[in-house]
Amino acid sequence: MDTVSSTDLPAEAPRRRRIRRGFAHLGIVVFGLGTIGLLYTGFAPGHSSAASTNPAVEQGYQLYLHGCSSCHGLNGEGGTTAPSLIGVGAAAADFQVGTGRMPLQQHTTEAPRKHNRYTDAQTEQIAAYVASLGPGPAIPTDLNYQSADVAFGGALFRTNCAQCHNFAGSGGALTYGKYAPTLSDATPKQIYEAMITGPESMPVFGDQEITPAQKLAIIKYIREIKTSPNPGGAGLGRVGPVSETVVAWLVGIGGLVVVTMWIGSKA
Amino acid sequence: MTDESPLAGKPRRRIGRRRDAVESATTTVAVRDEHPLDLEAHAEDPRDRRFAELLVTALFALGIAATVFVLVCYFAVSIHDKLGKYSNETLGGGLAVALFAIGAGFILWAKSLLPHERAIQDRHDFHSTPAEEQEAEDTFIAGANDLGLGKYKMLRRTLLGALGLFPLPFVVMLRDLGPLPGRSLLETGWRAGVRLVDLDTKLPVKLGDLAIGGIQTVMPEGFGDVNDEALAPTMLIRFAPGEILSEKEVNWGVDDHVAYSKICTHAGCPISLYEQQSHHLLCPCHQSTFDMARDAKVIFGPAARPLPQLQIGVDSEGYFYAKGPYSEAVGPSFWERR
């Protein structure tokens, strides 16, 4: 401030006058900022009063302020780079934070799965806060998929999931750099949450379309293909003939060519 | 290859020019022991030869051992045992080791123990002598005269008839490429009033079943084998209000629900790689991309046309039904439709 005001003045002005005017400028700025701040705290919408009644929501709000609010706004209203969180529900927050996708490391076409920095309790607190913003899908509680029909789950998976996530759940490419991730790391709860919330490009599969029992069957199928052995030898990512052909041509036939040339060079 | 060979650098074969003095085709194999041998590969020392012999023996023994190992693995370990999951690796690996050991033994044998003599075989001209050519020509003409095709009129005609008729069955059998598809390529199982049912559960779909941003694969109610009705699969997609950018698309749907053919217009792959945020629909076969918010317009890839839209309505019970068949042919291009 001082430097700015001093350059405005003629060089021959008395020094004391220059200092006094500098302080006056500083005072105006401080007063202005203070007024704006007071006005803001007066008019800005505070977060809902219901939040304070539930300690989990309150703790979640504190975590939210530190980790999420810079993009999603102080009250989950969203911003230019992030969607509104009002009405997305606890399941969406639990999925995004639980899989480490949120908070984002950087803005890319696809948020990659990474290590979750929060504890399970903290994740639930954030989810509780997001749930308090508006009604949305809750975190699924009944995840007893062991008795589900795996064959029917496989049929549902091939109709609804395999086109993007690959028939063995290995994931695949989408348009313009987006991709469907592999399902091998996803927990049953996360798979369930992804179906009911439709994170990023994924469509939403509501309970009227795929019933909870059918969702459990799909989860059972995904767990089954994850734990089933590879009887044919190395799985090679289970992405089908592409990786198998690459290995056969480069490693197999390439190796034969190298050995043949080596034998020939020794003749 | 040593350069002191008297034959080196001298072409022995000429092409396209007949020489007058043609020698008869003979093969001369000259064994030239006087040339220095490639001593690096050939063991002269008896101790080296003994070592090479042992090495080759060891390789062959390894081949025997590996083959026996494969047999033992095949018979002794059931694939249902705990070790059985390694069955493919042990069988394949054992066979690979056996074959490699036997092959390596052969190569080592040839390199270390066989005498390394240099044999040179001269190339010779491939054409025959004029006398032989003349003889062949005479034989052919004599044979043709002996046949007497000019003399036996009936023989000649029946032969021509038989040979002319014989290819006919092969032409006739081309009929089996048919029958012509008729209208089957233009029609699907969709008719006016038929309800939309889920592909797997076969239950009719109600307005409100689908969440916003949801997609469902539906078939006409009462469909039989999906493979017989491969053109019928249809996607029911629900948008958020105001997301559909085409007026026609809105009018053909109900309450932000629209139905489009699931069969790609390029090569007929089933597509439902639907991105609910960008509304892109990607075909996994050749990356044709459709913008589902703009009449399924092709925005990338080889597809020639947008996906056909199915006009749908909701009946008094709240179930979706088709207002009519697809107004255009579904699926890839064919002769009458490009």
CATH for B272: 2.102.10.10
- What parts of chain B have a pLDDT lower than 70? 1-44, 338
Question: Fold match between A51-133 and A150-241?
Answer: yes
CB spacing of B211 vs A175 below 8 angstroms: no
Same domain, B201 and B107: no
| Arch. (CATH architecture) of A150-241 | Orthogonal Bundle (1.10)
Give residue limits of the domains in chain A: 2-43, 51-133, 150-241
Residue B68 lies in a domain: yes
pTM of the full structure: 0.69
Lowest mean pLDDT among A7-21, A60-74, A128-142, B250-264: A7-21
Taking the C-alpha atoms of residue A51 and residue A57, their distance in angstroms, rounded to an integer, is 5
Q: Which residue of A has its CA nearest to B108?
A: A263
Question: Quick one: tokens of B148?
Answer: 């007497």
Among B89, B214, B270, the residue with its CB nearest the CB of A206 is B214
Average pLDDT of every residue of chain A: 84
Counting the structural domains of chain B, the total is 2
pLDDT value for B179? 85
From B103, B121, B139, the end of a domain falls on B121
CB spacing of B280 vs A231 below 8 angstroms: no
Does pLDDT of A81 surpass 70? yes
pLDDT value for A43? 60
Q: Which residue of B has its CA nearest to A156?
A: B200
Domain ranges, residue B300 = 196-322
Q: Which residues of A touch B215 (CB under 8 A)?
A: 203
Whole-angstrom CA distances from B227 to A23, A57, A69, A164 are: 85, 52, 51, 21
Ordered DSSP codes for B289-307: EEETTTTTEEEESS--SPP
Q: Evaluate whether A161 touches A180 at the Cβ level (below 8 Å).
A: no
Q: How far is B296 from chain A (nearest CA, A)?
A: 15
Question: Would you call A172 an interface residue with chain B, using a CB distance cutoff of 8 Å?
Answer: yes
pLDDT value for B25? 46
Q: Domain A51-133's class?
A: mainly alpha
pLDDT value for A12? 54
Q: Which residue of A has its CA nearest to B89?
A: A233
Q: Evaluate whether A6 touches A22 at the Cβ level (below 8 Å).
A: yes
Q: How far is A131 from chain B (nearest CA, A)?
A: 18
Among A204, A263, A266, the residue with its CB nearest the CB of B211 is A204
pLDDT value for A52? 55
CB spacing of B206 vs A208 below 8 angstroms: yes
Same domain, B202 and B297: yes
pLDDT value for B20? 52
Residue B61 lies in a domain: yes
Among B41, B87, B284, the residue with its CB nearest the CB of A163 is B284
Q: Evaluate whether B292 touches B237 at the Cβ level (below 8 Å).
A: yes
| Other beta carbons within 10 Å of B258 | 24
pLDDT value for A5? 46
CB spacing of B277 vs A159 below 8 angstroms: no
Cα Rg, chain B, nearest whole Å: 38
Q: How far is B8 from chain A (nearest CA, A)?
A: 19
**What value of ipTM does the predicted structure carry?**
0.72
pLDDT value for A267? 61
Q: Which residue of B has its CA nearest to A229?
A: B85
**Which residue numbers of B have CB closer than 8 Å to A's CBs?**
41, 85, 87-89, 92, 107, 111, 198-201, 205-206, 208-217, 237, 270-278, 280, 282, 284, 287, 289, 300
Taking the C-alpha atoms of residue A68 and residue A102, their distance in angstroms, rounded to an integer, is 8
Question: Quick one: tokens of A181?
Answer: 């991730």
Q: Which residues of B touch A206 (CB under 8 A)?
A: 209-211, 214
Give residue A10's identity as a one-letter amino acid code: P
Q: How far is A228 from chain B (nearest CA, A)?
A: 11
Provide the H-helix boundaries in chain B: 46-76, 87-112, 130-147, 153-165, 168-172, 247-252
In the block, tokens 């797997």 appear at B200
Q: Which of residues 227-246 of A touch B (CB under 8 A)?
A: 229, 231-233
Q: How far is A73 from chain B (nearest CA, A)?
A: 21
- B13: which residues sit within 8 A by CB, 6+ positions away? B123, B125
Q: Which residues of A touch B210 (CB under 8 A)?
A: 206, 208-209
The residue of B1, B100, B215, B287 whose CB has the most chain A CBs within 10 angstroms, and thus the best one to mutate to test that interface, is B215
Q: How confident is the model over A25-55, as pLDDT tens digits?
A: 777 777 778 777 766 665 655 554 444 578 8
Burial of B88 (0-12, 13-18, 19+ CB in 10 A): middle
